[in-house]
Amino acid sequence: MAVIRDVMPSFQLLQPTSVDDAQKLLQQHGQDAWVLAGGLDSFDWLKDRIKRPKAVVDLSGIEELRGIRETSDGVEIGAMTTLTDVVRNPIVKQKYGLLAQAADVVASPQIRNQGTIGGNVSQDARCWYYRAGWPCYRAGGNICYADTPVGRNREHAILHAERCVAVNPSDSAPALIALDAKFVVRTPKGERVVDAEDYFVGPDINITRMTILEPGSLLTAIRIPSTWAGAQFYFEKVRDRNVWDFPLLNVASAMVVSGGNIERIRIAVNAAAARPLRLKGVEDAVRGKPANPATGEMAGKLAVQGAVPLTFNAYKIPLMRNLVKRAIGGVQEAAWAS
């Protein structure tokens, strides 16, 4: 990491107190504006002088973006709700424990106290080269430094890579996909509600962004429908250091088992590709089958079909296979995991 001694470029700090005002400011400043939530990703970019916005729109004074409300059909979480508040919320814990589990293993307690759920799902890639300001594809250049025989790509993608091999590092994202959450986005043209899985984009759609958010847009809330309340959940994250670290891979599943058979299931993984992946093929293949080791084994193999390792991340293929296997077998894991 370079030692930086120059003065950080100044920016105009704008502190709206309503979503309407925030949006007006974002539209006014267009490409020159930066949305600031908890700042954990944002300040890295600004302090490293890699992103140099002229105006920073700080959402922390907008009360309507905070808090968790039970609705007639589930729960709505304001985008500026901290990860700690998500983890501690009694409704989330009781009915949507998958999200509480995922949010609880994000980084460290300090980061969860400051980091928001909206920021967690909107955070940028953590590829070393990109974060250090190298002019790669994702930064608008015409090369990928990670995808070379000597590139540092141990943490990178095994699926759906296209020019860029960086991964989405969010822990909460796959849990929200498994819970069939809807993301509420305010765009200059009005409000849009999108399925969690459609909030994220890969390099085939837009290599410079990880979400559908365009300049001038805001994520305002995340709605979790009651469809999966109280289902059988499984979340597992593998990381280098358990104290705090980004996922090397994670898996989240919501399952309803009846008479020993999988009646309904949603399953997603993250840190395998540039966007969190819902494993629709796996869901279709295991529906109606017994929730047992044989089904888990089959699901794990299916999940990694088409995976292509880079020089230093081949370990991710058996890792993903085993995480999916355990997510299907759930608590029975200890008896049959290999």
Ligand X SMILES: Cc1cc2nc3c(=O)[nH]c(=O)nc-3n(C[C@H](O)[C@H](O)[C@H](O)COP(=O)(O)OP(=O)(O)OC[C@H]3O[C@@H](n4cnc5c(N)ncnc54)[C@H](O)[C@@H]3O)c2cc1C
Per CB under 6 A, residues contacting ligand SF4 are 125, 127, 129-130, 136-138, 144-147, 156, 164-166
228 contact choice in ligand SF4, ligand X, none (CB below 5 to 8 Å, kind-dependent) = none
233 close to 101: Cβ distance less than 8 angstroms: yes
Locate the DSSP E strands across 200-309. 218-225, 232-238, 249-258, 261-270, 277-278
127 contact choice in ligand X, ligand SF4, none (CB below 5 to 8 Å, kind-dependent) = ligand SF4
Phi and psi (nearest 5°) for 335? -75, -25
* DSSP helix/strand/coil, 29: helix
Decide whether 110 or 208 has the Cβ nearer to ligand SF4.
208
Q: How far is CA 120 from the centre of its chain?
A: 6
302 contact choice in ligand X, ligand SF4, none (CB below 5 to 8 Å, kind-dependent) = none
Task: Show Cβ contacts of residue 147 under 8 Å, excluding neighbours closer than 6 positions.
Answer: 153, 156, 161, 165, 310
Residue nearest to ligand X (CB): 119
Cα(106)–Cα(240) distance, integer angstroms = 13
Cα(312)–Cα(155) distance, integer angstroms = 8
C-alpha dihedral, 271 to 124 to 215 to 183, nearest 10°: 40
Least separation in angstroms between CB 263 and ligand X: 30
Q: Please count the other Cβ atoms lying within 10 Å of the Cβ belonging to residue 214.
A: 11
Check residue 10 and report its DSSP letter: P
Least separation in angstroms between CB 40 and ligand X: 3
Decide whether 249 or 299 has the Cβ nearer to ligand X.
249
Contact characters 179-218, ligand X, x per CB under 6 A: ----------------------------------x----x
Closest CA to 127 of 44, 235, 212: 44
85 contact choice in ligand X, ligand SF4, none (CB below 5 to 8 Å, kind-dependent) = none
Least separation in angstroms between CB 305 and ligand X: 26
Decide whether 210 or 282 has the Cβ nearer to ligand SF4.
210
Cα(78)–Cα(68) distance, integer angstroms = 6
Least separation in angstroms between CB 167 and ligand SF4: 9
Decide whether 75 or 207 has the Cβ nearer to ligand SF4.
207
C-alpha dist (Å) from residue 130 to 133, 146, 167, 330, 331 = 5, 9, 12, 36, 39
Q: Cα 96–171–65 angle (5° rounding)?
A: 65
Least separation in angstroms between CB 202 and ligand SF4: 11
Closest CA to 296 of 338, 334, 326, 337: 326
Contact characters 212-231, ligand X, x per CB under 6 A: -x----xx------------
Q: Which of residues 274-293 bind ligand X (CB under 6 A)?
A: none
Decide whether 138 or 182 has the Cβ nearer to ligand SF4.
138
Contact characters 103-142, ligand X, x per CB under 6 A: ---xx---x---xx-xxx-xxx------------------
Contact characters 32-71, ligand X, x per CB under 6 A: --xxxxxxxxx----------------x------------
Note the residues at the interface with ligand X (CB under 6 A).
34-42, 59, 79, 106-107, 111, 115-116, 118-120, 122-124, 169-171, 213, 218-219, 244-246
